[in-house]
Structure 1
Amino acid sequence: MSFADIVPMTADQRETFERDGFLVIPGVLSSREVSRYESAVDGVYAEREAAGRLGADKSLHQLSAVASCPELAGLVNHPRVFGLVTSMLGWNCHVYHSHFDIHPPIREPKPFRFEWHQDGGRQNREIETDPRPRLSVKLAFWLSDVSEPGRGNFKVVKGSHETNRIDGPPRRDIEWPDPEGAMEVCANPGDAVFFDRRIWHARSNNYSDIVRKGVFFGYTPRWITVRDEAVSAEVAAGLTPVQRQLLSALDEGRVNDPVEGGDHAWGHFPDEVPLYGFLRERGLLDSSIPALIP
């Protein structure tokens, strides 16, 4: 499968996603891809370690994945899973937040901290509906073996994306049990997890002998602001038009128009949005999905 192809979400996947709030997609990355992307993030880790910029536990939570590690650009529209994003958000979307994480094994128990949360920050305080709107989805690509619990696994409460709050302690450092129904999602290297940003989630502590490694991309409509740092002009020059859209590196159309600038991201001009043309050429503008209608 090439980047000229994507596979849209199936009816069964949509039913599962709407019910559970997440999907596990096995075998997204080949062993060669896993090795290539792992080598790329390991290189950044080595640079940060040499500069003394790791966490106290030697972990790395590196924001702006592609700006920090341009070799990861191929993941933003990976053909085996990007169709899940377009099936949920349509053609007028971009990556607003991304990161890659490396967590070495923990040799001593960590102080307790209640880490359960929904993505989006103040969206979860300032939007008044119940449940709050989806607004964004996220893809996690696993580069390490988290096929057993306790390896820094993605933890979720299945179906909690339609719940605005869960019980928690008055302070994060007060010991508190996991929410009812909490589970660790197990995955092999090369698997991906696609999830609704509203699902209540956390990360298990990595008490294994395996270094936990994953790359995460959050997608949202282009009328929501970007948290990531911009990619350099040199990196942008090597991207496809769709990748430039996803990484907010477009410089054509009305994006720079002195009169109509800004409307480009609002989606008023579909023919100027690369992902719209990409989906149209492949007959993937499913009119039953509002976000795909021009």
Structure 2
Amino acid sequence: MTHSMTRWTPMTSAEREQFEQDGYLIIRNALNATEVDYYKAVVDRVYAASPEAASGASLHLLSAVTSCPPLAGLIDHPSVFGRVWSALGWNVHTYHSHIDVHPRIEGREPFWWQWHQDGGRQNREIETDPRPRMSVKTAFWLSDVSVPGRGNLTIVPGSHRTNWLPGPPQRGMVWPQPQGAIEVTVNPGDVLFFDRRLWHARADNYSQVTRKVVFFGYTYRWIAIRDETGDLLEQPWFQDLNPVQRQLLGFAGDGSGDHQWGHYPASTPLYTELSAQGLLDPSHPPLIP
């Protein structure tokens, strides 16, 4: 379900205000029923072919598109992608992605403190308070987590401006949930768009519903990609992608000037597409023409 260029819509002023305040947005019905069925079937095939399927274990598969090329249509999905470039601008790529499948847990799991911010070493090596946003993430929900207890993502709204969360001395020590924590309740086809600094954790799934979700993290192209991309130019499926999708997967261009540092905007696919659609915004530094 890769798609050709389409008209994108930027984040509204109300969305931007809510995103800055809460650190996340829920995009309802981002995928229609046909898309949900398609991508759910794709993820089901990935899980069925995995070693985890035989024992009914959970799957956390990195490098979503390289591992499963049919998911490429999600990285610039027209219902969602506008929030990404509205927040970060045009000089971006996907640096981290994963497919998650979590069947019902039989029996109670030992306690483990899972709360974290995305970004890894950024949260140790950048000294400002609060730390900069650096990246955003989208979560495409393909299973029904409209009620708590189904492996929902648990978040603390507004915590993206908090560098440290009070937690136990050791992760295995039983400890109460952070104050203000909520389980995000969403339907299949809904998308959670969030600031990577938002403190979050996955709740355990003790329900009869298998949790299925695909995550994509976006950051500036001058930050290294964590995903395994291999030699994309040699992959037949890569040739079918549109120029923006190729940029998002790490392709730096054809040698005509495009560069990860953004020195040559006019030869960067996302810049040229936003310019053609009149979506560059001089009031927002990452989108200055």
Q: TM-score, normalised by structure 2?
A: 0.95
Map 1:175-190 onto structure 2 (within 5 A): 175-190=174-189
Question: Partners of 1:145 and 1:66 in 2: how far apart?
Answer: 23
Partner of 2:284: 289
Identity over the aligned pairs, expressed in percent?
59
Q: Once the two structures are superposed, what CA deviation does each residue of 1:9-65 show, in whole Å capped at 9, x if it has no partner?
A: 0000000000000000100001110010011111111111xxx34697611001000
Change in Cα spacing, 1:21 to 1:286, as seen in structure 2 (3 Å) is same
Q: Deviation at 1:113?
A: 0.3
Any gaps of 5 or more consecutive residues in structure 1?
A: 256-262
Are the counterparts in 2 of residues 140 and 217 from structure 1 also a CA contact under 8 Å? yes
Q: Contact 2:252/2:260 (CA < 8 Å) preserved in 1?
A: no
Code of the aligned partner of 2:228: E
1:47 aligns with 2:49: yes
Q: Alpha-carbon deviation of 1:123?
A: 0.4
Is the aligned partner of 1:166 residue 2:146? Answer: no
Kindly tell me the number of residue pairs found equivalent between the two proteins: 284
Q: Which letter does structure 2 place at the counterpart of 1:236?
A: F
* Match 1:266 to one of 256, 261, 264: 261
Q: CA offsets, 1:57-106, max 9 Å, x none?
A: 61100100000110000000000110000100111000000001000011
The one-letter amino acid paired with 2:262 is G
- 2:59 aligned partner: 60
Give the letter for the 1:286 counterpart. D
Matched with 2:38 is 36
Distance in 2 between residues matched to 1:286 and 1:103, nearest whole Å: 41
1:284 alignment partner, SS class: coil
Whether the aligned pair in 1 keeps the contact of 2:102 and 2:205 (CA below 8 Å) is: yes
For residue 7 of structure 1, report the CA deviation from its aligned partner. Answer: 1.1
1:120-151 CA deviation, whole Å, 9 max, x = no partner?
Answer: 00100110000000000000000000100011
Q: Which residue matches 2:200?
A: 201
CA contact (8 A) 1:146 1:188 kept: yes
Q: d(CA) in 2 for partners of 1:145 and 1:135? A: 30
4+ runs deviating over 2 angstroms? 52-57
Counterparts of 1:216 and 1:254, CA distance in 2: 32
Aligned to 2:229: 230
Counterpart contact for 1:3–1:77, Cα < 8 Å: no
How far is the alpha carbon of 1:250 from its aligned partner? 3.8
Structure 2: 5+ residue stretches without partners? none
1:191 maps to a residue whose letter is D
Code of the residue aligned with 1:177 in structure 2: it is: P
| Deviation at residue 5 of structure 1 after TM alignment | 1.1
User: 1-side partners of 2:74 and 2:250: how far apart?
Assistant: 15
**CA separation in 1, counterparts of 2:190 and 2:68?**
20
Please say if residues 254 and 264 of structure 1, whose CA atoms lie closer than 8 Å, have aligned partners that are also in contact: no
SS of 1:236's equivalent?
A: helix
Bigger drift between 55-64 and 234-243 goes to 55-64
1:143 counterpart residue number = 142
How is 1:95-174 mapped onto 2 (pairs within 5 angstroms)? 95-174=94-173
Q: Is the 8 A contact 1:137 1:195 kept in 2?
A: yes
- In 2, the alpha carbon distance for the partners of 1:138 and 1:99 equals 11
The alpha-carbon deviation at position 249 of structure 1 amounts to 2.6
Q: Distance in 2 between matches of 1:31 and 1:18?
A: 30
CA distance, structure 2, for counterparts of residue 157 and residue 228 of structure 1: 27
Matched, 1:81 2:63: no
Task: Report the Cα distance in structure 2 between the residues aligned to 1:55 and 1:84, rounded to whole angstroms.
Answer: 38
Matched residues in 2 for 1:15 and 1:57: separation? Answer: 42
CA displacement at 1:3 relative to structure 2: 4.2
The equivalent residue for 1:258 is none
Asked if the contact 2:149/2:205 (under 8 Å) is kept, the reply is: yes
Give distance in 2, aligned partners of 1:57 and 1:124.
34
| Secondary structure, aligned partner of 1:253 | coil
